[in-house]
Chains A and B, each alone.
Chain A
Amino acid sequence: MEELTAKQLRDKIASGQIKSLDAVNDVFSRIEKYEPVIGAYISTFKEQAIEQAEQVDKKVSAGEPLGQLAGVPIAVKDNMCTTFGATTCASKILENFHAPYNATAVEKLIAADAVIIGKTNLDEFAMGSSTENSGLKKTVNPWDTTRVPGGSSGGATASVAARMCSAALGSDTGGSIRQPASFCGVVGLKPTYGRVSRYGLVAYGSSLDQIGPVTQTVEDAALMLNVIAGHDSSDSTSVNETIAPTYDYLEKLNEPVEKLKIAVAPQLNAGADQQVQNTLHEAINIYKNLGAEIIEVKMPHLDYAIAAYYIIATAEASSNLARYDGVHYGHRTQNPKDYVEVYSKSRAEAFGQEVKRRIMLGTYALSSGYYDAYYLKALKVRNLIRSDFTKAFEKCDCVMMPVAPTTAFKIGEKTSDPLQMYLSDIYTIAANLAGIPGISIPCGFDDKDLPIGLQILSPAFTEDKLLRIAKMYEKENNWYDKRPNI
């Protein structure tokens, strides 16, 4: 059953060929087998999942209408609120936090008859590129268990790669879906900012955060986006459909984009590992053979993306994470001498190193006397990066580049050098700053048999086209058929 994509499984469940209950039991038997090695999940909900599956099976036999994800086992990154289980953000400060509501994206999954089987590990509050910053557990890469799965949605991508779920929801603030998708050999889509409601997604960098699917195939990504996209009156930054309509992303998925024009920025790609560069080159050649025109563009301001990102994201984070203070919920220190100590000790005790580092950075960037030099300047850079993309998209349909400069690195390799770690997001961050959609699809393996991803970026709210472009490549290759040998 693990051979089936989410879409195939859904169709077989809907036609009665497979029972959802069997699919869910199958997934849980895989979790029992592989989870002790992989460590993808912070929590699982077997009983609830079985109940949900049985309900879907009942619907099937009663001939009732079925949701688009009927009976399909789905995992959710543990920074999205759920009324069931805890919502921890992989942080000790929220270890026992039970949200009183579901994130809108989770609600939409449930409404589409998906079976939510568990919540996946992440870097604490989604801050990191390897999932090593989780305050609760360690996740390894299914392709090589001595290596990181990438991050911050490392639990989600590892669980899809190990087929411990059919698909998952991740979140992407600076590459947190695309980079781990690339490391784990799965598909990761970061939609346009505003395409998917952020309501119930625990905020890290509010102007950058976006929920998106982690899947086995491009088709599954389209299916998941069908379910989660759309305006939400609870999220002021989610875009109204009159301004940018959503589509049935599956509908024209198999139609190639005609007269496809692809842009590459050679000077950017030069920083990547040679094998990554070669693989990218081969992927682009495939498009060329399909009739695409390749042009070169200069995106001069992308060099400053990391600097701008680590000011904007940390500034927002320093404010977003101020609420975890031990007063209203979450970890509270024992025997504080006054209310100030409730704050300082609770936070000192429960936040991890990287979270503290980013809170400090962001607080500094917003402080009076530094605001103009840092935060304001970062916003200006952000605008320049946006216009780099706008100019590029005047000449092409999409920009292609690596997802990450390397394949999955060794556990512990970069933990002592945060700046090296930050550099693993060099290719993904720009899309968040510009608010545009980006997808990572498997496009080959390096000499250590580690997956490499191809990143495709397209203009805001053109996920329909982006998915079609990705699908063109996927049809020519069967990378997704290759499975990790755990």
Chain B
Amino acid sequence: MADLQYKIIVGLEIHVQLRTKSKMFCSCALEFGAEPNSRVCPVCLGMPGSLPVMNKQAFEYSVLAGLALNCNIPMFTKWDRKSYYYPDLPKNYQISQYDLPLSEKGFIEIPLESGETKRIRIIRAHLEEDAGKNVHSASSYSQVDLNRTGTPLLEIVTEPDMNSGAEVRALAVELQRLVRFIGVSEADMQKGHMRFEPNINMKIIRNGKEYRTPIAEVKNLNSFRALERSVTYEAQRQLSEFLETGIEFGMGNKTTRGWDDEKEMTVLQREKEEAHDYRYFPDPDLVPVELTQEWLDEIKSRLCELPLKKQLRYVQEYNLSDYDAGVLTADRATADFFDEVVNAGGDPKRVCNLLTQTGLKITKEKNCNITDLPVTPKGMADLAKMVDEGTISASSATTIFEAMVQTGKQPDVLASELNLVQKSDAGELESIVDQVIAENSEAVADVISGGKKEKKARGFLMGQVMQKSKGQANPKVVSEILAKKLK
């Protein structure tokens, strides 16, 4: 048996659709699922004489994403035409960026299962316009829908720094969270807002000699699952192909493959990388973009603490679970709200519980952000404090939270209105406890004897006290009194 070691090497190209209102170079609305060819104009149709005008918002979003990906942002960037003929491309060239992209040389940290993070280098991120869609019918012709034509896309290219399907998936998921967090994309997979193209090959060491398998590019993946599985599948396929044929990486033997979701395998699309010549040249219809320091600073000011960093901070500083920290940092609104509540004096753990168990349930039902609810960070912090101070019980907090959402009232007001303020007055509670002790000699005996039944009996007595106080006794105070009396 030969000594065999191998490692999978993956780089990713990701297309992220920006969440601008209008297209990249015209004012047509970006709308998913509209009647075919209803969101078009002379510019995105590439009609004779029409001219593109850059969408400033798309550019700013891209710079923001570049900054979030720790990229260099050059002060000068330009537009190039990439030429190829295809029916979904009305001008038969795509406006893109070639040698001077708007951002380059960055990195993104991705979370690993071990709890550690890994740095994946970003080669570049540039802005371009999307093509339309060819709709193939069973008959002898195809139809073209140009609604998508001209949609702003951010193309992000990573170095081949990933070494497993899981890492590739982690990057994709982290990138989704990142672009949503900074507000530049809805990143809705169902709507094709993120599309992935992994470039995969294997490094194989056999008997001390190193080999590389030919690169395969898997085109147009639009789910995390397909992305991960295609990478895992390719690793296996390339390994067995190498063992069978011994073919190594070489010029011109890159293949293009597609992912068959039903068969769960990649299928060959193009045998050899065709000698593409896109004849890039600067688009004379668009002026280069020259950033000023003020403009760049203004865009920079929109940056925030990024989600992964925030998540790690919540775990370390607040002792939250990794899962809860992940939930709180899934979107910017929730994370910002959480931070504000903590700043207003709410105990992080308590606030986390209220938010994840109640708040996010409500926002999910209402399909809105936490900030859309009539609950202020201050109100939320007060609610958390009331629990911590024993003014209300943890379960009452949920009730009060729900009432806050409905009425917009402050938690202390609602606590009294709903009669949920706990009795913590030791004197008043002591007389109830005395009464309960007097009425339940058997349970009292079980507690004092300290046998198997002690725990159950103590619970029973607690329950009796709560019942007599109509649920308003502070359980902490009650258990202290009980403990004192039944020593």
Binding site for B on A (CB under 8 A): 80-81, 87, 89, 94, 97, 99-101, 103, 198-203, 205-207, 233-237, 315-316, 318-319, 322-325, 327-329, 339-340, 342-343, 363, 366-368, 371, 375
Chain A: CB-nearest residue to B88: A327
Task: Indicate whether A323 sits within 8 Å of B91 (C-beta atoms), given known contacts A236-B286, A236-B287.
Answer: yes
Tell me whether B51 and A198 are in contact (CB under 8 A): yes
With beta carbons under 8 angstroms apart, the residue of B49, B50, B53, B90 that contacts A328 is: B90
Set of chain A residues within 8 Å of B50, measured between Cβ atoms: 101, 199-200
Tell me whether A322 and B85 are in contact (CB under 8 A): yes
Tell me whether B53 and A234 are in contact (CB under 8 A): yes
A-B interface, 10 closest residue pairs, ranked by CB to CB distance from nearest: A322-B92, A207-B284, A206-B284, A366-B279, A200-B49, A202-B48, A81-B49, A202-B49, A323-B91, A323-B46
Tell me whether B279 and A368 are in contact (CB under 8 A): yes
Is B35's CB within 8 Å of the partner chain A? Answer: no
Set of chain A residues within 8 Å of B83, measured between Cβ atoms: 319, 322, 366
8 A-B residue contacts at CB 8 Å?
A: A99-B47, A234-B51, A318-B279, A322-B93, A323-B92, A339-B87, A340-B85, A343-B85
Tell me whether A366 and B281 are in contact (CB under 8 A): yes
Name 8 extra pairs, CB < 8 A, besides A101-B42, A199-B49, A237-B286.
Answer: A99-B49, A100-B42, A234-B51, A235-B51, A236-B53, A236-B285, A323-B46, A368-B279
Binding site for A on B (CB under 8 A): 42, 45-54, 81, 83, 85, 87, 90-93, 142, 144, 277, 279-281, 284-287
Tell me whether A325 and B48 are in contact (CB under 8 A): no
Tell me whether B92 and A325 are in contact (CB under 8 A): yes
Q: State the CA gap A200–B42 with chains docked (Å).
A: 10
Closest CB of chain B to A199's CB: distance in Å? 5
Q: State the CA gap A81–B49 with chains docked (Å).
A: 7
Set of chain B residues within 8 Å of A371, measured between Cβ atoms: 279, 281
Tell me whether A237 and B285 are in contact (CB under 8 A): yes
Q: State the CA gap A234–B25 with chains docked (Å).
A: 10
Task: Indicate whether A325 sits within 8 Å of B85 (C-beta atoms), given known contacts A236-B53, A319-B279.
Answer: yes
Q: State the CA gap A356–B76 with chains docked (Å).
A: 35
Set of chain A residues within 8 Å of B92, measured between Cβ atoms: 322-323, 325
Tell me whether B48 and A319 are in contact (CB under 8 A): no
Tell me whether B47 and A100 are in contact (CB under 8 A): yes
Q: State the CA gap A367–B83 with chains docked (Å).
A: 11
Chain B: CB-nearest residue to A94: B48
Closest CB of chain B to A35's CB: distance in Å? 26
Main secondary structure of the interface of B (DSSP, over half): loop
Set of chain B residues within 8 Å of A367, measured between Cβ atoms: 277, 279
Set of chain A residues within 8 Å of B48, measured between Cβ atoms: 81, 87, 89, 94, 97, 99, 202-203, 323-324
Tell me whether B284 and A375 are in contact (CB under 8 A): no
With beta carbons under 8 angstroms apart, the residue of B49, B54, B144 that contacts A203 is: B49
Set of chain B residues within 8 Å of A99, measured between Cβ atoms: 42, 47-49
Closest CB of chain A to B145's CB: distance in Å? 12
Main secondary structure of the interface of A (DSSP, over half): loop
Task: Indicate whether A322 sits within 8 Å of B91 (C-beta atoms), given known contacts A328-B45, A368-B277, A375-B281.
Answer: yes
Q: State the CA gap A9–B52 with chains docked (Å).
A: 38
Set of chain B residues within 8 Å of A237, measured between Cβ atoms: 51, 284-287
Tell me whether A236 and B87 are in contact (CB under 8 A): no
Tell me whether B284 and A316 are in contact (CB under 8 A): yes
Q: State the CA gap A280–B277 with chains docked (Å).
A: 48
Set of chain B residues within 8 Å of A342, measured between Cβ atoms: 87
Chain A: CB-nearest residue to B53: A236
Q: State the CA gap A340–B81 with chains docked (Å).
A: 21
Set of chain B residues within 8 Å of A235, measured between Cβ atoms: 51, 53
Closest CB of chain B to A434's CB: distance in Å? 15
Closest CB of chain A to B36's CB: distance in Å? 14
Q: Which of B52, B85, B280, B281 has the most CB of A within 10 A?
A: B281
Q: State the CA gap A315–B47 with chains docked (Å).
A: 19
Set of chain B residues within 8 Å of A366, measured between Cβ atoms: 83, 279-281
Chain B: CB-nearest residue to A198: B51
Closest CB of chain A to B91's CB: distance in Å? 5
Tell me whether A199 and B85 are in contact (CB under 8 A): no
With beta carbons under 8 angstroms apart, the residue of B81, B144, B286 that contacts A327 is: B144
Task: Indicate whether A236 sits within 8 Å of B281 (C-beta atoms), given known contacts A322-B92, A322-B93.
Answer: no
Q: State the CA gap A71–B83 with chains docked (Å).
A: 45
Closest CB of chain A to B89's CB: distance in Å? 9
Closest CB of chain B to A268's CB: distance in Å? 27
Set of chain A residues within 8 Å of B280, measured between Cβ atoms: 366
Chain A: CB-nearest residue to B84: A322
Q: State the CA gap A132–B250 with chains docked (Å).
A: 52
Set of chain A residues within 8 Å of B142, measured between Cβ atoms: 339
Closest CB of chain B to A382's CB: distance in Å? 12
Set of chain A residues within 8 Å of B46, measured between Cβ atoms: 323, 328
Q: State the CA gap A234–B53 with chains docked (Å).
A: 6
Tell me whether A319 and B52 are in contact (CB under 8 A): no
Q: State the CA gap A318–B93 with chains docked (Å).
A: 11
Closest CB of chain B to A264's CB: distance in Å? 31
With beta carbons under 8 angstroms apart, the residue of B47, B51, B144 that contacts A236 is: B51
Set of chain B residues within 8 Å of A80, measured between Cβ atoms: 49
Chain B: CB-nearest residue to A102: B49
Closest CB of chain A to B146's CB: distance in Å? 8
Closest CB of chain B to A363's CB: distance in Å? 7
Chain B: CB-nearest residue to A340: B85
Q: State the CA gap A112–B51 with chains docked (Å).
A: 24
Q: State the CA gap A23–B301 with chains docked (Å).
A: 63
Set of chain A residues within 8 Å of B287, measured between Cβ atoms: 236-237
Q: State the CA gap A97–B45 with chains docked (Å).
A: 14
Set of chain A residues within 8 Å of B93, measured between Cβ atoms: 319, 322
Closest CB of chain A to B90's CB: distance in Å? 6
Closest CB of chain A to B161's CB: distance in Å? 28
Task: Indicate whether A236 sits within 8 Å of B52 (C-beta atoms), given known contacts A363-B279, A366-B281, A367-B277.
Answer: yes
Closest CB of chain B to A181's CB: distance in Å? 23
Set of chain B residues within 8 Å of A206, measured between Cβ atoms: 284-285
Chain A: CB-nearest residue to B134: A339
Set of chain B residues within 8 Å of A198, measured between Cβ atoms: 51
Closest CB of chain B to A109's CB: distance in Å? 15
Q: State the CA gap A328–B88 with chains docked (Å).
A: 10
Closest CB of chain A to B109's CB: distance in Å? 36
Q: State the CA gap A87–B47 with chains docked (Å).
A: 11
Set of chain A residues within 8 Å of B90, measured between Cβ atoms: 323, 327-328
Chain A: CB-nearest residue to B276: A368
Tell me whether A327 and B51 are in contact (CB under 8 A): no
Closest CB of chain B to A143's CB: distance in Å? 32
Set of chain B residues within 8 Å of A103, measured between Cβ atoms: 49
Closest CB of chain A to B149's CB: distance in Å? 11
Set of chain A residues within 8 Å of B285, measured between Cβ atoms: 203, 206, 236-237
Set of chain B residues within 8 Å of A97, measured between Cβ atoms: 48
Q: Which of B52, B83, B93, B284 has the most CB of A within 10 A?
A: B284
Q: State the CA gap A89–B49 with chains docked (Å).
A: 11
Set of chain B residues within 8 Å of A202, measured between Cβ atoms: 48-49
Q: State the CA gap A207–B282 with chains docked (Å).
A: 10
Set of chain B residues within 8 Å of A94, measured between Cβ atoms: 48
Set of chain A residues within 8 Å of B286, measured between Cβ atoms: 236-237
Q: State the CA gap A327–B277 with chains docked (Å).
A: 22
With beta carbons under 8 angstroms apart, the residue of A201, A315, A329, A363 that contacts B49 is: A201
Q: State the CA gap A234–B91 with chains docked (Å).
A: 18
Set of chain B residues within 8 Å of A236, measured between Cβ atoms: 51-54, 285-287
Q: State the CA gap A339–B136 with chains docked (Å).
A: 12
Chain B: CB-nearest residue to A315: B281
Q: State the CA gap A99–B285 with chains docked (Å).
A: 20
Q: State the CA gap A100–B53 with chains docked (Å).
A: 19
Chain B: CB-nearest residue to A364: B279
Closest CB of chain B to A360's CB: distance in Å? 13
Closest CB of chain B to A362's CB: distance in Å? 9
Q: State the CA gap A199–B50 with chains docked (Å).
A: 6
Tell me whether B281 and A319 are in contact (CB under 8 A): yes
Q: State the CA gap A94–B286 with chains docked (Å).
A: 25
Closest CB of chain B to A308's CB: distance in Å? 14
Set of chain B residues within 8 Å of A100, measured between Cβ atoms: 42, 47
